[in-house]
Amino acid sequence: MNTDQVIGKLRETFKDDITEVLKKSEKRAVVTISPGAILRVAEYLYKTAGLRFIIASALHTKRGFEIHYHFSLDATGLVLNIHVILDQDNPQIESLSNMFNASNWIEREMHELFGINFLNHPNQEKLISEGNWAEGVYPYRKEFK
Amino acid sequence: MSKKTLIPIGPYHPLQEEPELFKLFCDGEIVKDIKWETGYNHRGIEKLSESKTYEQVFFLVERICGICSTSHPFAFANAVEEIAGCEITDRAKYIRSFIGELERIHSHLLWVGLAGHFLGYNTVFMWAWKYREPVLDLFEMITGNRNSYAMFKVGGVRRDIENNKIPAIRKVIDDLKKKTDLLTGAVMDDPVIHARTKGVGVLTKQDVLDYAAVGPTARASGVAIDIRKDDPYAAYPLVNWKVITAEAGDVFAKAQVRLLEMFESISILEQCISGLEKTKEGEVNVVVKEIPEGHGAGRAEAPRGEVFHYVVSDGSNSPVRHKIRAPSYVNIATFKKACVGQTIADATISLAAVDPCYCCTERLATAYDRQSGRRILSAKEIIDLSIARTSELKKNTKQ
């Protein structure tokens, strides 16, 4: 499967959930989806298309909390970013950790640093601060004027 | 319900000076569960990076890892150059790959040595570290430093490798090839190492996919992923080499992959030197005036696996978000699969097998019984357990 085929299949399968597709090059693409579809999209990528979950990056921007889920198609070198934008006041999204263990730690980390809640996470304990950090204070959040 | 004893390994690992704490929950000598704690020395590098200029971030990320200190600048340079859309010169590509591969050799030699040390087989430790020394000397000759080389920048490298140094480099590499040959033969044919590592800490192909493990950890379980091949960067598309894999997924397979990889690295080094001879001295830089708004995903194959850097730029002179994923972040999580069900003596080498440099035996903490508070094993006793097992195997193999 090449980059166009992966994007084409995604468009076809999740046409109601995809809000934007950006193909930067043969090896880099960004697909923005609605947060509610993350489980289905990730399941398709991991189980059907055979992509590997690299990591997820959370960002705090004026639009709210954004997560870029980075997937790799090792056969072609494609890095596919699945981009979701979460609500500013109540950031939450379904956890992927029941599907693969690779996302377990990073979801815990994003919960701890950004205060994003991962629904149905098997064990959303703190990963880094081990209780040495004040509750409800999220160090990687930003203040926008 | 059987009573479990908690045996902590940590909270600081002295050999790599890494703050990690493994809690082994044991029933007798068998590890039943394992938990990991970290963050004692959380440095907040991702956040710190947002307050540095792109040029300064190179020095910052170089300090993430002391052993593979070039892999992070490598991935960061790939990410930023993707945003800037710049193509570096061939000579800079060869120099980057040369540094990357030389680092892989020194890192793998370090691991082989530590693995030997961990098994109580100090001859391997001393050999491997002795052979690693000329590699570090070579680094010093080329970059001025034994580690943290400060070679990378956006658009190329900071220092050229002058062609008059090539004969001296060739000599070191030729010597290295012979010594690697010797070491590989000695390790791969040693019955004691076979007995201590075969069938120990097995990671199946499915485990690798589930935990998304990378690098030699994945390749030893038959998952042939290598960023140098899959998403080629620097000079890797310009040279010939092959990805080394093994099928067994045990500690021996991981050692085998690393040892054989060193020969591929030596071959890449030789080809990079020929590349240097073909390109013009001094052409190691292209000017990048500004980093535009955008985001870039940079990857590099470190000795331990894929390093991933994600950089978001708003057009200013520092990143607005910089996400870093080191290979150990995903590889360490596989311990849950590799260690549970093993004896304590085997768990220690299984923990070392993904190469977080785990031969931190003198820091293995004392084990206490949770209920009675009675001391069960001291640090020295745990080390002695491992050494005793190796001696026993040595004795048995002689008979």
DSSP, collapsed to helix, strand or coil, labels residue B6 as strand
Q: How confident is the model at residue A27 (pLDDT cuts 50, 70, 90)?
A: very high
In terms of pLDDT, which residue wins out, B256 or B375?
B256
For residue B369, pLDDT over 90 is answered with no
Q: In this predicted structure, what is the pLDDT of residue B347?
A: 84
Classify residue B238 as exposed, middle or buried by CB count within 10 Å of its CB (0-12, 13-18, 19+): middle
Report residue B269: phi and psi, to 5°: -60, -45
Q: Taking CB atoms and an 8 Å limit, are A70 and B299 in contact across chains? A: no
Q: Which of A55-64, B73-82, B198-207, B333-342 has the lowest mean pLDDT?
A: B333-342
For residue B357, name the pLDDT band (cuts at 50, 70, 90). Answer: very low
pLDDT surpasses 50 at B191: yes
* Range scoring the smallest mean pLDDT among B182-196, B313-327, B356-370: B356-370
The reported pTM is 0.89
pLDDT at position B359 over 50: no
Residue B99 has pLDDT above 90, yes or no: yes
Query: B212 and A54 in contact by Cβ < 8 A?
Result: yes
Which of B199, B215, B369 lies closest to B301 in space, CA to CA?
A: B215
Q: What is the mean pLDDT of residues B248-268?
A: 95
Predicted pLDDT of residue B16: 55
| Distance of residue A14 Cα from the nearest chain B Cα, in angstroms | 24
CB contact under 8 A, A27 and B330: no
pLDDT above 90 (res B69): no
| CATH of the structural domain B45-330, one choice from 1.10.760.10, 1.10.645.10, 2.60.40.1120, 2.40.128.20 | 1.10.645.10
What is this model's ipTM? 0.95
Chain A residue with the nearest C-alpha to that of B231: A77
User: Which residue numbers of A have CB closer than 8 Å to B's CBs?
Assistant: 27-28, 30, 52-55, 57, 59, 68, 70, 72, 74-77, 79, 81, 100-102, 104-106, 127-130, 132, 139-140
Q: Does domain B5-41+331-398 have CATH number 3.30.390?
A: yes
Cis peptide before B11 (omega within 30 of 0): yes
pLDDT for B322: 94
Domain extent listing, chain A: 3-90
Looking at residue B208, what is its pLDDT? 95
State the DSSP code for A44: I
Model pLDDT, residue B373: 66
Tokens at B343, concatenated: 């004896």
Cβ–Cβ < 8 Å for B92, B285: yes
pLDDT band at residue B365 using 50, 70 and 90 as cut-offs: very low
pLDDT of B128 reads 94
Q: Residue range B280-296: average pLDDT?
A: 93
User: What pLDDT does B64 receive?
Assistant: 85
- Report how far residue B144's alpha carbon sits from residue B133's, in angstroms, rounded to the nearest whole number: 15
pLDDT at B104 over 80: yes
**What's the half-sphere exposure (Cβ side, CA atoms, 13 Å) at B21?**
15
Residue A51 has pLDDT above 50, yes or no: yes
Name the more confident of A129 and B282: B282
Mean pLDDT of B191-216: 93
Average pLDDT, chain B: 87
What pLDDT shows up at residue B43?
A: 80
Class of domain A3-90: alpha beta
Q: Which residue of A has its CA nearest to B224?
A: A74
pLDDT at B148 over 70: yes
What pLDDT does residue B41 have? Answer: 73
Given this model, what pLDDT does residue B77 score? 97
What is the model's pLDDT at position B81? 96
Task: Using the predicted structure, report yes or no on whether residue A111 has a pLDDT greater than 60.
Answer: yes
Query: Stretch A97-101: mean pLDDT, rounded?
Result: 95
What's the rounded mean pLDDT across residues B112-126? 87
Which one is predicted more confidently, A135 or B169? B169
